[in-house]
Amino acid sequence: MTKMLFASVSFAVLCTMLPTIGYAQDTGPSADPASAEGRLGDIIVTAQRRSEDLQSAALAITAVSGEDLMDRGVTQVEDLGILSPGFQVNTSAGPYATFSVRSISSLSGNAFADSAVAVNLDGVYLATPTVLHGLYYDLERIEILKGPQGTLYGRNATAGAINIIPRRPEFRNGGNANLMVGNLDRFNIGGALNLAVSDTVALRVAGQRVRRDGYMSDGASDDNGEAIRASLLFEPTPELSILITGDYAHQGGVGPGATIRKECANIPGNTQTGACFVADDPYTGIADLAEQYTSVGEAPPTQNQFIEGDYYGLALNVNYETSIGDLTFIGAYREADSAYVGTGTSWQLREMQMPTQTSAELRLASNNDGPLQYVFGLYYLDTTMESRSQSESLNNRRFSDSFTNNEGWTWAAFSQLTYSLTDNFRVTGGLRYTYENKETDSERYNLLNLVGPDPVIPDGPSGVKTIDLEEEESWNSVNWKLGVEYDATPDSLLYANVSTGFKAGGFYYGPPGSNTYDPENVTAYAIGTKNRFANDTIQLNIEAFYLDYTDQQISFVKLIGPGSVVLVTENAGSTTAYGIELESEFLLAEDTRIGFAASWIDAEYDEFSYDTVAPPSSTTLCVVGPPFPFNVDCSGLEPVKTPQWTLSGSFEQGFELGNGGRIFLDGRGQYKSAFFPSTAYTVETVADESFRANFGLGYEDPAGRFRVRAFIDNAFDEVTINNSTVNTAYSENQIVGVNLLAPRTYGVQLSADF
């Protein structure tokens, strides 16, 4: 409660002085030119596959401008978690990222993983949760859509969707450059060059290099990478545009890190109650905690963690304006080659992974102001995955050795129509048919007596084969959406809708008859309002929602037999969640802007239990039945990664100077209540409530082309747990791997346009 009180007071002070910013989070001085006219600006989004004003879109969207992303220092996927309440990003090992939206998440941890959030780069769906790196530079905006998007975004969008939209080439000569330096030896540099090659051809080349040392004591949780993107735009006529884009990114360094927590009573000499970090400094990394392993006869953790990933993409976007709408074709090919050795889960994981995907989408979207607005589309996706991974099971002196070979393809047909029955009242209907096929030919071996910390892995399959996984499954689903919209005033929209979502089933390493899981389905109800008041100086958006999930896919680490620790995915019987989100923005004066956002959610697993040969520790909130095997019943508990409360506030105050330049002060704060990141539901795994605040002070020249900003993030140096992982094969040392957000960081940003 102390943190809650402190956070509430802090928010009150912020909002009284001068939010996360509301649905249109454009706080940069050049991002919203309308603010210079004494009103909040309009933001055009394409979340519903056609251009429209954000305040006219009848769904919950957070749109964050490229300028604001640069101010926040967003360079890697885990940084996206600060953008909106009710949305968070968790990492644990290697390049994997798990998104959580409104209580729904799907743990990404191996080559079988699918995300519950559809991430799209310039309209191209990214099918693998390990390929989301090196994308967050030279962007027009990021759009975060909350709630299932089964009609327009299809499978694997049961929690929502994220649209990453790079800046397109323009018919002018110019560019920009930016630099960030700070503690932890941070040195980021980037920029873009835009050339008008002719009246019909434009080229844009952008890139970045990021460097920051790890904030864990063993060098983990660093930021290291390079990326480049080239876009060629050809507009031979006013109606036709052809955009060809190629991109490459490299991710290097150590990768995500972790520390260890235990029940305080299990730490010698500790007299506290509850859960405690085993080291006095919570940022002590796994590699520096060898005594937690060697004291019970296990091998020390590796000192040689690394991550090396190369990501490639090529896309063609053709848009032709016709009398009946914009006809758009998007074709793309993407591949990756990544490898890592990490202990971000508290035990050693090793993997080499090579995913590829080919996709094509054709759609027709209305481009007029008539009573009927529509989108029709066809979609196709083909994927392959080759992976080899090893997972350590130290108390059995062995490593698993998994050879995963997956193939899959899917196609869909979709439409969404909105018809104006009157000037103020509209109805919406959407429909999507999806067919999906997956097959796997995979094997898992046990490499006996191959103890860490740095084993020599044989070149090919060897040891004892424990699992032979040959499966093929297909699924199909019809998803739909029905909604109504009413313009109470020209600046106030009321809406309500009901929609469904579908996430395909899949496979995991398990014994015959227990190695597949069923599709996940959701029905979502939402009612909301979007408003502008006081001559466009106040924005207030509110949405209430109710989610009804059947067969929700829950992924967790489970011991299925002696020495067989696997990441399984099982279907919970049912899950319900309801809540309300509020996002607001206030332009109190021409140079005074504040905002406030809040998310409250109440969710629980109505039915969720599983069998295991090794249950969680005695502090679990789940009900553990008698052996053997143990039945662990977590029904009635809240879904993982679901803080009940998230509160955000921000402000920007500018001061005009005599020469026409500008000094500005900005700040952001976010409070999260406690939540459980792990299905173990033990006291050791809980993420405590937290409050983090960021501040900046800067100067902008009179022409608005040069900007310098000093910043301090996590100003109060809050120790914030972002994720935790339990391995039930580690019963001897009773450890829990904990991932932390960054401690206090600070530095200077410079940017210039030319």
pLDDT in tens, 448-483: 888 889 999 999 899 889 899 999 999 999 999 999
pLDDT in tens, 296-334: 778 889 999 999 999 999 999 999 999 999 999 999 999
Note whether 314 and 370 are within 8 A (CB): no
CA dihedral 16, 22, 28, 31 (to 10 degrees): -140
The mean pLDDT value for 93-104 works out to 87
Which residues does 403 contact at the CB level (< 8 Å), separation at least 6? 387, 388, 442, 443, 444, 445, 461
Q: How far apart are CA 645 and CA 408, in angstroms?
A: 38
Which band of pLDDT confidence, cut at 50, 70 and 90, is reported for residue 6? Answer: very low
pLDDT of 513 reads 82
Q: How far apart are CA 518 and CA 503, in angstroms?
A: 9
Note whether 155 and 410 are within 8 A (CB): yes
Note whether 745 and 186 are within 8 A (CB): yes
Helix (H, G, I), strand (E, B) or coil at 209: strand
pLDDT > 70 fraction of the chain, expressed in percent and rounded: 93
Q: How far apart are CA 211 and CA 215, in angstroms?
A: 12
Q: Is the pLDDT of residue 18 over 60?
A: no
pLDDT of 493 reads 97
Which residues does 303 contact at the CB level (< 8 Å), separation at least 6? 218, 287, 453
Which residues does 611 contact at the CB level (< 8 Å), separation at least 6? 629, 630, 631, 632
Q: Tell me the C-alpha to C-alpha distance, in Å, between residue 357 and each of 361, 365, 409, 441.
A: 13, 25, 9, 18
Q: Is the pLDDT of residue 15 over 50?
A: no
Which band of pLDDT confidence, cut at 50, 70 and 90, is reported for residue 615? Answer: confident
Token pair of 210, please? 């990021």
The mean pLDDT value for 53-61 works out to 91
Q: How far is CA 741 from the centre of its chain?
A: 15
pLDDT of 9 reads 38
pLDDT of 305 reads 96
Report the first-to-last Cα separation within the chain, whole angstroms: 50
Of 76-90, 158-172, 548-562, 683-697, the one with minimum mean pLDDT is 548-562
pLDDT of 563 reads 56
Residue environment code for 642-676, b if the CB has 16+ CB neighbours within 10 A, otherwise e: bbbbbbbbbbbbbeeeeeeebebebbbbbbbbebb
Q: Is the pLDDT of residue 5 over 60?
A: no
Which band of pLDDT confidence, cut at 50, 70 and 90, is reported for residue 728? Answer: low
pLDDT in tens, 695-708: 999 999 999 999 99
Note whether 481 and 429 are within 8 A (CB): yes
Q: Which of 24-28, 152-156, 526-530 has the highest mean pLDDT?
A: 526-530
Q: Tell me the C-alpha to C-alpha distance, in Å, between residue 743 and each of 111, 179, 566.
A: 31, 21, 32
pLDDT of 368 reads 75
Token pair of 183, please? 């503690």
The mean pLDDT value for 380-398 works out to 87
Q: How far is CA 309 from the centre of its chain?
A: 18
Q: Is the pLDDT of residue 32 over 70?
A: no
Note whether 68 and 58 are within 8 A (CB): no
Of 318-327, 412-421, 546-555, the one with minimum mean pLDDT is 546-555
Of 147-161, 164-178, 277-291, the one with minimum mean pLDDT is 147-161
pTM: 0.92
Which band of pLDDT confidence, cut at 50, 70 and 90, is reported for residue 7? Answer: very low
The mean pLDDT value for 63-81 works out to 86
Of 243-252, 397-406, 688-697, 724-733, the one with minimum mean pLDDT is 724-733
Length of the chain (residues):
754
pLDDT in tens, 423-446: 999 999 999 999 999 999 999 998
| Residue 465: how many other CB atoms lie within 10 Å | 12
Of 125-134, 340-349, 406-415, 612-621, the one with minimum mean pLDDT is 612-621
Higher pLDDT, 526 or 728: 526
DSSP class per residue in 691-723: EEEEEEEEEE-TTS-EEEEEEEESTT----EEE
DSSP class per residue in 584-623: EEEEEETTEEEEEEEEEEEEEEEE-EEEESSPPPTT-SSE
Q: How far apart are CA 112 and CA 400, in angstroms?
A: 16
pLDDT of 384 reads 97
Using alpha carbons, select from 398, 90, 401 the residue that is nearest to residue 258.
Answer: 90
pLDDT of 202 reads 98
pLDDT of 661 reads 95
Q: How far apart are CA 457 and CA 452, in angstroms?
A: 11
Q: Is the pLDDT of residue 591 over 80?
A: yes
pLDDT in tens, 659-682: 999 999 999 999 999 999 988 899
Note whether 259 and 285 are within 8 A (CB): yes
pLDDT > 90 fraction of the chain, expressed in percent and rounded: 68
Which band of pLDDT confidence, cut at 50, 70 and 90, is reported for residue 343? Answer: very high
pLDDT of 482 reads 97
Residue type, 35: S
Q: How far apart are CA 251 and CA 602, in angstroms?
A: 37
pLDDT of 395 reads 64
